[in-house]
Amino acid sequence: MINSKSISLFFSLFGFWLLMSGHYTVLITSLGVVSCLLCVYLTIKGNFLDNETIPIYFFPRLIQYTIWLIKEIFMSNITTAKVILSKSEEPELFSVKATQKTNEGKVTYANSITLTPGTVTTQIKDNVFEVHALTKEFGDDVRSSEMDRMVTWLEKGK
């Protein structure tokens, strides 16, 4: 069934294809159209278009958040290496409350915790996340709620 999501998907795919291709002859462009149509057809047949498709409202703030997260990952990598080399790990398991309102926001927060070395989100129940930290300092970083505030800020881009 053709709807606005499938049309948007086609134009997104074809726009990306044009950007990445760099070849704009009639034959090559026609093959690009056919391949994008095939992808949309398979997506429709596989029933992959639903209410949880790409959350476009994240995009305006996503670049700034990504830069912040990369900095956090880099700093955490250095700290994790120091902890491992000095054999000073003191793992802890604790819970933190998430302030995100959408499922996308909660998943982004949980994945951000896990992406940061030294911490892993082990369970999500409602708005409470169970987190495993390599040391108390890693746990304190999560409990400081800075990442929670950043993801909530990202989520409000909607």
Report the alpha-carbon angle 35-36-38, nearest 5. Answer: 65
User: What is the distance between the alpha carbons of residues 132 and 125, in angstroms, rounded to a whole number?
Assistant: 15
Domain locations in the chain as residue ranges: 4-45, 56-155
Dump pLDDT digits (tens) for 56-83.
Answer: 666 778 889 999 999 999 999 999 999 9
Burial of residue 105 (CB within 10 Å: 0-12, 13-18, 19+) is buried
Report the alpha-carbon angle 117-52-115, nearest 5. Answer: 5
Residues above pLDDT 70, as percent of the chain: 92
Residue 112 identity: S
pLDDT band at 145 (very low <50, low <70, confident <90, very high): very high
Q: What is the DSSP code (8-state) at residue 57?
A: G
> pLDDT at residue 89 above 80?
yes
Q: What is the pTM of this model?
A: 0.67
